[in-house]
Amino acid sequence: MLLNELLKPHRHWLYLSWSAGLGAGLATVGLAGSIAWLVHRAVFDPGATSVWPWLGLALVAVIARHALQTLRDWAGQHLAYRVRRDLRQRMLATAARIGPVHLAHRGHSGAWASRYQEQVDALAGYYARFLPTLGLALAVPLVLLAAAFTQDWIAGLLLLFSAPLIPVFMALIGMGSQQIHEMQQDQQNRLAGHFLDRIRNLDLLRRSLALDAATDEVAIATEGYRRLSMRVLRVAFLSSAVMEFFSAVAIGLVAIYVGFSLLGFLEFGPAGQMTLFSGLFVLLLAPEYFQPLRLFAQSYHDRAGAVAAAASLAPLFDERTTAAGVPARMPVIPAEFLLLLDTVSVRYDPDGPAALDSLTLQVTAGEHVAIVGPSGSGKSTLLALCAGFVSPSTGSIALADPARSFAWIGQRAHLFHGNLRDNLLLGTADNTPDDLLIGALNSAGLPVTDPTLPLGLDTPIGEGNRGLSGGQAQRVALARALLSGSRLWLLDEPTSALDPETENDLLQRVLEHARERAVTILLATHHAAVHARLDRMIRLDHGRLVADEHV
Amino acid sequence: MADSWPTNMSDWDFLRQVFRGSRVWTGSAYLLLALTWIAGIALLALSGWFITASALAGAGFLLGLELFTPSAGIRAAAILRTLSRYGERVIGHEAVLRVLARLRARSFASISRLPVSAQRQLRSGDLQHRLTTDIDTLDAIPLRITGPIVAATLAALAATGLTLWLAPWPATALLLTTAGLTLSASLLAARVGRARGRALVEQRSRQRVALLDFFGGLADLIAYRRVDAERSRLEALEYEQATAALFQERVSLVADQAVQGMVALTTLAMLWLALHWHAHGVIDAPVAVLLTLMTLGLNEALSTLPGAFWRTGESLQAATRLRALGVDPSTTPRPRTRVSHSKVAEPPAPVSGFRVSNLAIGFAGNRPLLSGLNFLLEPGQPLVLHGGSGLGKSTLLETLAGERVPLSGSIHLTGRSITELPEPLLYRTVGYLPQETRLLDDSVARNLRLGQPELSDVMLWNALEKVDLAHALRSEGSGLDYPVGETGRRLSGGQARRMALAWLLLRATPVVLLDEPFSGLDHNTEQRILARIRPWLEARCAAIVTHAPERLPREWPRLDLTGNAR
């Protein structure tokens, strides 16, 4: 299980937390004993010896207790901190390992970001509070119970019998809690997604005169989320109320038992020998006896939240899917070929249909290949395969050296938050001079003097490419590809989201620059106008190669 | 409301406004919390008193000890404590969550009412963070800060009242000192935590943006071999963020234990004082024990304070970020008086003409992209606007739609300038299909019914038929319920475009502005759709921007914009 697996390398922090908590429990016994003794002696034996040694002992006990409790919580928090950092590193590593195609199968980028931030944080309480209190809820009450038994076994039994009832009741209450937690988390994600979608489409909503309706919808969604959150909280509150109730009743019972024994109303067992010291000592221990259990009850819903989060995170780390990385270089790749596919099949789901089915293909350097076919025929998969984003289930793929670095342009270029310069530098060395960047932009058809780029290379680019039109974003991506000097360009419907005019212009530039630089192109498209301009066309259908024509 | 709100209002004022509507409920929760703590103190103090008195009576030092009242008091305190605790939790959270839910809806409403230019500058990921996480953070104010302060003050007052009555003044002084020190320690923790808490909120938001870039741009990062660099940058961000958060937690736990330790030391001091007074016959033994245990019981109330205070920074920063959106903080539920625009109200006045005179358009502060534009849109004569790439055709259409201010000149609709039209009337009159297709992550039906919930299924199918989508949707199976996906990704580019066109057909505005309506469609589909919507188009004032005028009916007038370019 993910939660245990994450704990393993940092277990020692948990042990430290437990030891400190146990030490604090022992200090509590010392404190209660010295207070009880001071009172007892003052009432029944005033002035026999100095109060200072006992007061001093109490003082030491107080300091030790709170120093150790600090250590207990410190260690717990450190554990949670280390575990979360590990997990976040693992998420990034997994994303890098499985590549963009498998990543998208496991949720869109907003969902991944939310997992990285919120869902990982949902594990914190489990390590910082639940695990430490889990051990201490057993050990500390046992120590205090033993101390109580040394004084009066009936009082000890009162405490002993009141404690086990608590977990029973809590289990009854907590049964449904995990399920509600999962629902709440699901709702939380959905609410966040809903907000994002409506915010992105404010323009559309305004034009449709639907802003008020959208606001009402948001109100309904957020109200649903509140109701579910309240259900989660009510369960948590009820379990801690049960806990409170038993501890309060038990303390009251102990007080009354001790009082009546001291009055001499109870003659059986040890009750007859009860002294003020032993009575007060047991009374002072009683609330401390329940304290760890109370902390445990409070942290119980930390556990439910963490289990729900771990359940949704664990499948992300499924080791079976992995992108190939840049494909292995075949030892004997004939010099004229750039790319060789030998009966390659790709399946996303081992039992599902093949996205690519026994495909054999050779591409020579400098060729411009259009990949056509209906949606779902495997065009994108073929490109992802060449990029190393997915690996072949059977068969083999080999790339010649120049193809091992490639440029990628998708349907909608992803521009990074920052300025235009940062986005161009992504494809090349960080110290590339500005005039080279400007030159590349010009070649891509986006002169830096364009009025929509008021600050030139320093023009900020917002999230979602804000500030640039779709065509301009694709041009930036082309400039990036030009700057990268890659000899292989993988283009996944690079112009399909553009108006025909921009499409035409962009395509012209792509082909012109590719020809100049002897770049090999693999371009997926469903436009006849596009593939007519390339020198070779391969047609896919249901993952199979059905035509391969040189123009 | 949002606009009239003074901008110099502080974050605290903002928060006060937010929670004002729930004062009765949160106030009750505070009182119940105080009651919980007082009952806890009473339980301990009364038990100590009872035991000591019993011991004295048992040994014969005390005669006539009345048993019923103390033991009933002990039981009552035990039950009261549980009930008031549960009540406090449920009432407090219920009230706060209601307020926050309303605030969320209101924030969205405020954002939706921002001017178009301000809206377009917002980053949606950041905005989403504000509406979800930032608003969640505000619950700390009543639940962890105000509530505990009020309740701890009441509990401390109850305790000092008792010491004033039962013991000489130093006992009261001791308790007041402890309460004062706790408050100072908490304020100190708050000071340390506030700036960092604010920074933490900003760091999280920056991290969010970086994460969206990493997961969204992974293909480019891998292609250009920047994955490792980007990963280490994210790990550095995470390290910075996590260590800052850890520091906050440590300040909180150290302050927490320091206060608890201080209360324990105060208990010892009280014990010493009480025993001293007992030895001198000032107070009797049961009262001495009562004073000691009461002091011990204060621990529960006082120890919550420091941990609460350091959270103020996060809540205040969240408030700052919400204020920056111009969110109206008053969350008092109020009857809905606004008229919903979404219902089809009276149809817009018949439009006889859409006149453009001497218009210049472009970006403010730059030379105009196009100038000297004069034309009239009339029913029956759709105007085809064309010209080379990058002339500003789309900017022109955006200006005609009233979404961009003209640099000079005028646009008149049946004699009224469109800049003077109120928004509802403008959008009921002018239908605009921009170049970029936008769809909601919702079903086909909900997308088409956007703003017109009363449209029947038959009408939707009719429109889908016209744009040649009906067949594809019928054969897919789920029909109108088909979910189009985030940004319409479950449709092809051409299908998405046709959906947007169907939406426009259903709006049936007297003026129609189309920017490359058929992009992403093959020639045959384009001609088929054109033939079907032609009567519809010719019945209104229409302008169509295209790069390929030859594909549109020859009878339609054309305007080549090349001559109007700078």
Instruction: Give the number of A-B residue pairs with CB atoms closer than 8 Å.
Output: 405
Determine the pLDDT at residue A323: 56
**Percent helix, strand and coil across chain A, each to the nearest 5:** 65, 10, 25
Please tell me the distance from the alpha carbon of residue A113 to that of residue B132, in angstroms, as a whole number.
14
Determine which of A463, A496, A530 to mutate to test the interface with B (most B C-beta atoms within 10 Å).
A463
Residue B476 pLDDT > 90 = no
Please tell me the distance from the alpha carbon of residue B224 to that of residue B284, in angstroms, as a whole number.
83
Residues of chain A with Cβ-Cβ distance to B454 below 8 Å are: none
B117 at A interface, C-beta within 8 A: no
**Is residue B387 within 8 Å of B565, Cβ to Cβ?**
yes
Determine which of A35, A41, A43 to mutate to test the interface with B (most B C-beta atoms within 10 Å).
A43
B292 at A interface, C-beta within 8 A: yes
What confidence category does residue B545 fall into, taking pLDDT thresholds of 50, 70 and 90? very high
Q: Compute the residue count for chain A.
A: 551
- The rounded mean pLDDT for chain B is 86
Please tell me the distance from the alpha carbon of residue B79 to that of residue B297, in angstroms, as a whole number.
17
Determine the pLDDT at residue A304: 80
Residue B344 pLDDT > 50 = no
Residue A333 pLDDT > 60 = yes
Determine which of A89, A202, A478, A488 to mutate to test the interface with B (most B C-beta atoms within 10 Å).
A202
**Is residue A280 within 8 Å of B52, Cβ to Cβ?**
yes
Determine the pLDDT at residue B41: 92
Please tell me the distance from the alpha carbon of residue A360 to that of residue A365, in angstroms, as a whole number.
17
Please tell me the distance from the alpha carbon of residue B332 to that of residue B335, in angstroms, as a whole number.
10
Structure tokens at A492: 């996944």
Q: Tens of pLDDT along A117-165?
A: 888 998 999 999 999 998 998 899 999 999 999 998 988 988 888 877 7
- The rounded mean pLDDT for chain A is 85
Determine the pLDDT at residue B341: 45
What confidence category does residue A177 fall into, taking pLDDT thresholds of 50, 70 and 90? low
- Please indicate whether residue A350 or residue B139 has the higher confidence score (pLDDT): B139
Cβ within 8 Å, pair B238-A88 = yes
ipTM value of the model?
Answer: 0.85
Residue A286 pLDDT > 50 = yes
Residue A25 pLDDT > 90 = yes
If you ran DSSP here, which 8-state letter would residue B378 be given? B
Residues of chain A with Cβ-Cβ distance to B258 below 8 Å are: 66
With a pLDDT cut of 70, the percent of chain A lying above it is 93
Determine the pLDDT at residue A353: 80
Domains, chain B, in order of start with CATH, read 11-195+243-323 (1.20.1560.10), 354-564 (3.40.50.300)
B119 at A interface, C-beta within 8 A: yes
Cβ within 8 Å, pair B362-A388 = no
B237 at A interface, C-beta within 8 A: no
Cβ within 8 Å, pair B89-A66 = no
A260 at B interface, C-beta within 8 A: yes
What confidence category does residue B337 fall into, taking pLDDT thresholds of 50, 70 and 90? very low
Q: What is the 3-state secondary structure (H, E, C) of A335-347?
A: CCEEEEEEEEEEC
Q: Which amino acid is at B272?
A: W
Distance (Å) of CA A464 to CA A200, B223, B441: 9, 20, 16
Q: Tens of pLDDT along A418-452?
A: 889 999 999 888 888 999 999 999 988 888 887 77
Provide the sign of the torsion angle of the four alpha carbons B269, B275, B278, B284, taken in this order. Answer: positive
A267 at B interface, C-beta within 8 A: no
Determine the pLDDT at residue B534: 94
Which of A:341-370 have CB within 8 Å of B?
A: none
Give residue B453's Cα distance to chain centre. 26
CA distance B12 to chain A (A): 24
- Across the range B407-413, mean pLDDT stands at 90
Cβ within 8 Å, pair A225-B101 = yes
Please tell me the distance from the alpha carbon of residue A511 to that of residue B549, in angstroms, as a whole number.
26
B20 at A interface, C-beta within 8 A: no
Q: What is the 3-state secondary structure (H, E, C) of A157-226?
A: HHHHHHHHHHHHHHHHHHCCHHHHHHHHHHHHHHHHHHHHHHHHCHHHHHHCCCHHHHHHHHHHHHHHHH
Nearest to B222 by CA among A92, A398, A379, A446: A92
Determine the pLDDT at residue B141: 86
Please tell me the distance from the alpha carbon of residue B417 to that of residue B405, in angstroms, as a whole number.
12
Mean pLDDT is lowest, of A40-49, B176-185, B399-408, for A40-49
Q: Is A486 helix (H, G, I), strand (E, B) or coil?
A: coil
- Please indicate whether residue B443 or residue B494 has the higher confidence score (pLDDT): B443
Residues of chain A with Cβ-Cβ distance to B120 below 8 Å are: 203, 466
Q: Is B151 helix (H, G, I), strand (E, B) or coil?
A: helix
Determine the pLDDT at residue B4: 34
Provide the sign of the torsion angle of the four alpha carbons A118, A120, A126, A132, taken in this order. Answer: negative
Residues of chain A with Cβ-Cβ distance to B244 below 8 Å are: none
- Across the range B478-491, mean pLDDT stands at 82
Structure tokens at B384: 């085809």
Q: Is A77 helix (H, G, I), strand (E, B) or coil?
A: helix
Please tell me the distance from the alpha carbon of residue B393 to that of residue B543, in angstroms, as a whole number.
11
B234 at A interface, C-beta within 8 A: yes
Residue B233 pLDDT > 90 = yes
CA distance A429 to chain B (A): 10
Determine the pLDDT at residue B332: 56
Residue B150 pLDDT > 80 = yes
Stated pTM of the model = 0.79
A442 at B interface, C-beta within 8 A: no
Residue A329 pLDDT > 70 = no
Q: Tens of pLDDT along A516-544?
A: 888 999 999 877 777 788 889 999 988 89
